[in-house]
Amino acid sequence: MLVVVALFAAVGAGSIWSTAKWSPGLALDLEGGTQVVLTPRATAGGTVPPEQVQRAADIIRQRVDATGLSETEVQVQGGQNISVSIPGQATREQLDLISQSAQLRMRVVLYAEPVTPPAAPTPTDGASAAPTDGATPTDGATATPTDGATPTDGATASPTQSADGAAAPAALQAAGTATTAPAEPAPAEPAPAEPAPATTPPSLAELATPAATPGPGQPTGTPSPAPTDASDQSWLSTPDLAAVYDNLDCSDPAQRSGGVVDDPARPLVTCSQDGLTKYVLGPAELEGTDLTSAVSAQATNSQGFNTGAWVVRLKFNGPGADAFSALTTRISTLEPPRNQFAAVLDGLVVTAPSVDQRFGADVDIEGDFTRESAEALAQQLQFGALPVSFTVQTEDQVSATLGSEQLRNGLIAGIVGLVLVVAYSLVQYRALGLVTIGSLLLAAALNYGVLLLLSWLQGFRLSLAGIAGLIVAIGVTADSFILFFERVRDEIRDGRILSSAVEAGWHRARRTILVSDAVSLLSAVVLYVLAVGNVRGFAYTLGITTIIDVLIVVLFTHPVVALLARTKFFGGGHKWSGFDPEHLGSVVARHALHRGERRPTVAELRAAEREKARSTAGAGGGQDEADRTTGRDEDGAGS
């Protein structure tokens, strides 16, 4: 009961201070939702193999599941398009996560500069605004070893947080700060010394020879002379690169909508996702398939204690670890921003941490992360490794495939099944059937509370198949009660009194109940792992109700029956109790009736039970552990 009260108290608090509701969310078949159809984009007008589309669908399904959505359907249509159906009203973040379906690649940074925000309106009084391009941007996220060791090189600059919550990447300073001389210096004062010229980093035009004709997309051709590696600045002399760079306006949201089909063998001109930085990146050195995991975690120091900061922890496979080790070894000694590597998803930079030492298979990305921004970046990196890029073909609202009528019919079927179980319990077990009713009501309350909690915290949605799992659970729960009650009645038939029969019967039934529920739980787990769609909803609710069945039988049904056995009505063997020895055909009661004697009392049954135990022990026979324990309990109670 305390668990039920705690569950509903949590849901009530969530309904007041959060988004919890008093009814679980419904799946596509009962409520409808949003359907997004994705079309693959192939390079150079080619076709995308069906196996790559299927693999992309699997990754999109993992990506959507990671957001907490339940009962989402991801299907391949015609071997090319991918249909994603989300229950209910999908949020903009969920739709963006689905449409952000390009390949993940890691490239080194060749050149970067901050994007100057749009100029403010010119004041009418002739005053000029202060220049905004002279500030030096701070470094962004930094990569550190996962064991918390201090980098071998100097300290890095403090990270700054970008608009989307991720750490802002580093950039070159655009220009120095201008100074002006006094209008009319005083004659008595010496002339001020001429200030030293400000040192500014070279511009892209100074690092490369721009082409005369701008290209519409990624620069084509190869630079001259041939670069020695991906960090070689000879890539900046690639034909059309400077024109593409000049024509890219990262402050315009339309130009950072993603969807670039980039060639991994050539440099890439692109923006950060927040539009604050413009990059020139070298050829791709790692693919998203080289990344085995990306999770958010709390940073630890060299002693293993949490520092309270959030990091994104990356882990690479064997070839990826070798490639990443070579990359970080090369760029760790370079000047900013060439000591950064950029993770590019859908043609945009999601993060560009700086590196000051060599790394292997494991690395932490540090920055001014919150828990939410670290989880968002980890999901982008973890599920961004699609084998092909996609465009959103359609985005529509779909109606429920089944609707409220089928939901009502499913609930009616569950109520009918519950009534039949209750009726059978009252007929078969008489007053003991009230224990069955109480156990079923408590199980129903627990199931409903858990569904409300999961719907609030994990986005669980109830489908018609899930309702079927709940209905099947009624039979599973009733089966456990029947097994326990019948074992107790078997012990009464053997001549035990009720209090002794309850403990002996529980000892015999407990293992069978646990094995039966373990088989049901294993079936639910296998279905959930191997199946897709609504079958997973059935497996999910079946697994939940099976676990609750074990809790109900162990923590409620058995203790309640043990308490009832101490009452006069049940312990005395009333004919409506369900434990009447004469009705059950007790051995002692049958012998008394055969001799024409009166019905034995409870005290006489207890004495006959002890006498039977002593005679068995005196004859050299052994008692099992349950009989010895029960005998000690009864002797203690009798004294």
pLDDT of 67 = 62
Which range, of 103-117, 321-335, 395-409, 541-555, averages the lowest pLDDT?
Answer: 395-409
Ranking 341-350, 355-364, 589-598, 615-624 by mean pLDDT, the lowest is 589-598
pLDDT for residue 257 = 64
pLDDT surpassing 80 at residue 319: yes
Q: What is the pLDDT of residue 212?
A: 37
**Where residue 162 falls among pLDDT bands split at 50, 70, 90?**
very low
Above 60 in pLDDT, residue 144? no
> What percentage of the chain has pLDDT greater than the value 70?
68
Domain presence at residue 601: yes
Rounded CA-CA distance 309/330 in Å is 28
- Residue 390's pLDDT band, with cuts at 50, 70 and 90, is confident
Average of per-residue pLDDT across 568-588: 74
309: three-class secondary structure by DSSP: strand
Task: Report the range out of 16-30, 135-149, 256-270, 605-619 with the highest average pLDDT.
Answer: 16-30
Of 115, 120, 140, 138, residue with least CA distance to 130: 120
Residues 283 and 413 in one domain: no
Measured torsion, CA atoms of residues 377, 381, 386, 392, in degrees rounded to the nearest 10: 10
Residue 142 forms part of a structural domain:
yes
The SS3 assignment for 359 reads coil
Q: What are 416-455's pLDDT values in tens digits?
A: 888 888 888 888 888 888 888 888 889 889 999 998 988 8
143 in Cβ contact with 339 (< 8 Å): no
Residues 376, 390: one domain? Answer: no
Q: Identify any residues that bridge with 304 across adjacent strands, giving them in sequence order.
A: none
Does 55 fall in a domain? yes
> Are residues 569 and 458 part of one domain?
yes
The answer as to whether 594 is a domain residue is: yes
Mean per-residue pLDDT, 206-212:
52
What pLDDT was estimated at residue 122? 53
- Structural domain count of the chain: 3
Helices (H) and strands (E) in the chain, counts: 19, 15
- Alpha-carbon torsion, ordered 415, 417, 420, 424, to 10 deg: -130
The pLDDT of residue 610: 60
Listed residues 381, 416, 431: the one ending a domain? 381
Taking every pair of Cα atoms in the chain, the longest distance, rounded to a whole number of angstroms, is 141
Range 459-479 average pLDDT = 83
181: in domain = no
340 band by pLDDT with thresholds 50, 70 and 90 = very high
Q: State how far Cα 299 lies from the chain centre.
A: 20
Question: Is residue 145's pLDDT more than 60?
Answer: no
Residue 393 sits in the same domain as residue 430:
no
Sign of dihedral through CA atoms 152, 158, 163, 166?
positive
Residue owning tokens 């024509």: 247
pLDDT of residue 215: 37
What are the C-alpha distances in Å from 142 to residues 82, 101, 343, 382? 36, 26, 13, 19
pLDDT at 149 over 60: no
User: Domain holding 74: CATH number?
Assistant: 3.30.70.3400
Same domain? For 44 and 112 the reply is: no
Per-residue pLDDT reduced to its tens digit, 528-552:
888 766 788 888 899 999 999 999 9
- Answer whether 34's CB lies under 8 Å from 86's CB: yes
Q: Calculate Rg over the CA atoms of the chain.
A: 36
Residues 390 and 242 grouped into a single domain: no
Highest-pLDDT range among 53-57, 171-175, 184-188:
53-57
211 pLDDT higher than 60: no
Question: Residue 69 has what pLDDT?
Answer: 60
**Mean pLDDT over each residue of the chain, to the nearest integer:** 73
- Is 361 a member of any domain? yes
109/417 Cα distance (integer angstroms): 65
Q: Which residue did the predictor score with more confidence, 222 or 342?
A: 342
Write down the pLDDT at residue 525.
92
Residues whose CB is less than 8 angstroms from the CB of residue 80 and which lie 6 or more positions away in sequence, other chains included: 39, 40, 48, 50, 53
The reply to whether 464 and 571 lie within a common domain is yes
Q: Are residues 596 and 487 in the same domain?
A: yes
Mean pLDDT of 84-101: 72
Residue 4 is assigned to a structural domain of this protein: no
Listed residue (492, 504, 489, 496) closest to 610, CA to CA: 496
Provide the percentage of residues in the chain whose pLDDT is more than 90: 9
Does residue 476 have a pLDDT over 70?
A: yes
Q: Specify the residue for token string 């039966």.
A: 516
Burial of 104 from C-beta contacts in 10 A (0-12 / 13-18 / 19+):
buried
Predicted pLDDT at 636 = 37
- Is the pLDDT at 81 greater than 50? The verdict is yes
Asked if residue 411 and residue 317 are part of one domain, the reply reads: no
Q: Rounded to whole angstroms, what are the CA distances from 609 to 330, 564, 572, 637?
A: 86, 20, 15, 14
Higher model confidence: residue 59 or residue 169?
A: 59
In tens, the pLDDT along 262-318 reads: 678 889 999 988 889 999 999 999 888 788 888 888 888 877 788 888 888 888 888
φ/ψ of 268, rounded to 5, equals -135, 130
- At residue 247, φ and ψ (nearest 5 deg) are -80, -10
User: Has residue 226 been placed in a domain?
Assistant: yes
Domain limit, last residue, from 372, 401, 430: 401
Q: How far is CA 494 from CA 212, 418, 501, 639, in A?
A: 103, 32, 9, 24
The pLDDT value given to residue 513: 92
CA 158 to chain centroid: 30
Q: Does one domain contain both 292 and 376?
A: yes
pLDDT reading at 522 higher than 90: yes
Q: For residues 7 and 303, what is the distance between their CA atoms, to the nearest angstrom?
A: 38
Q: Mean per-residue pLDDT for 55-77?
A: 73
**What is the structure's pLDDT at 260?**
59
Residues 334 and 392 both lie in one domain: no
Tell me what pLDDT residue 546 has: 92
Q: Which of 28-37, 62-71, 116-125, 485-494 has the highest mean pLDDT?
A: 485-494
Q: Average pLDDT in the 110-133 region?
A: 59
Q: Is the distance from CB of 296 to CB of 312 less than 8 angstroms?
A: yes
- 242/498 Cα distance (integer angstroms): 92
Most confident of 53-57, 338-342, 386-390, 627-631: 338-342
Q: Which helix (H) or strand (E) holds 125?
A: none
CA distance 333 to 451: 54
Round to whole Å and give the CA distance between 593 and 89. 72
493 in the same domain as 348: no
Phi/psi at 122 (nearest 5 deg)?
A: -70, 130
pLDDT of residue 375: 82
Task: Give the DSSP H/E element, type plus range, for residue 398.
Answer: strand 389-398
Residues 214-238: tens digit of each pLDDT = 334 456 666 656 788 888 888 888 7
Point out the domain boundary residue: 401, 433, 452: 401
Name the residue range of residue 56's domain.
28-101+386-401
